[in-house]
Amino acid sequence: MVVATVFVVILTEVAPALGAYLTGLLAPFPVYAATLTIFAHSLQGKAPAIGVLRGVLLGLFSFVAFFFVLAVLLERAGIAVAFAAASAVAVVVQGVSLLALRRRRPILVVATLNRAKARELAQLLAGLPFDVRALADYPGAALPEETGTTYRENALLKARAGARLTGRITLGDDSGIEIDALGGEPGLRSARFGGPGLDDAGRVARVLERMRGVPDERRTARFRCVVAIVEPGGRERVVEGVAEGTIAEAPRGTGGFGYDPIFFYAPLERTFGELTDDAKHRVSHRGAALRAARALLEGER
């Protein structure tokens, strides 16, 4: 039956008239006629594609259900009742299986190779009708050099690269800390501030060195995050989030990453490094941008 089903599907794609004729021959067996129609339409792009292999499995499940019920009822209820009951059960099995296949959650890729950022993004996107994957999980994953002159351009560069590599909807972000006393630096260069070879602690130390002696009233700063969502078909959307704060005199807290330990958020009287993940997500720049992105993605399904 499986081989015959695959054969008829191929014929239906190559020769629609012949396929229709063969489907017509199965008219007394509505379950299989319907199965062939679903396969043919999927292959021709007229119905939600479930894939040939999954389509064959769908036909096989209904086939087994049909003959199981038929065998059980044939001697007890007569051929007419047994055939009707078997057909009904097979139709239900086929319908439920098809619904389950169509409800498989699509994949959303977050375009980052930074595991800490990937975890934070996954937390912020939890509950969406997507399976969230990090770009770092894909073999050969790489991100282009951040050559943009704005956060928006860099976020789009990352999201486009991820969409090309994976063929999935991809979310890319770019963020930075803008310190007023440093003329808006590090800004776009936040991840590279101080030159190559520095880790997060080294970049934090470099900022504090340059901020030495700056009075409290001039230590204002903000985190800015821009999120881009790019689909394989080319659709692009961009949102932004901002969090205002000041630069602390010394690192405080061990949470978060990057400049979090020196970004003091006055309403909570804590640095981002002292906040729990949930508390930080409620007030952070990335949390604000991801809430806006969530609103867009929730409309995808």
d(CA 70, CA 87): 9
Give the whole-angstrom CA distance, residue 254 versus residue 241. Answer: 23
The one catalytic residue among 131, 173, 174, 277: 174
Please confirm whether the linkage preceding 186 is cis (ω < 30° from 0): yes
Which pair of structure tokens corresponds to residue 220?
Answer: 């204002």
Based on the residue annotation, tell me whether 174 is a catalytic residue of this protein: yes
First to last CA, the chain: 35
Catalytic residue numbers? 174
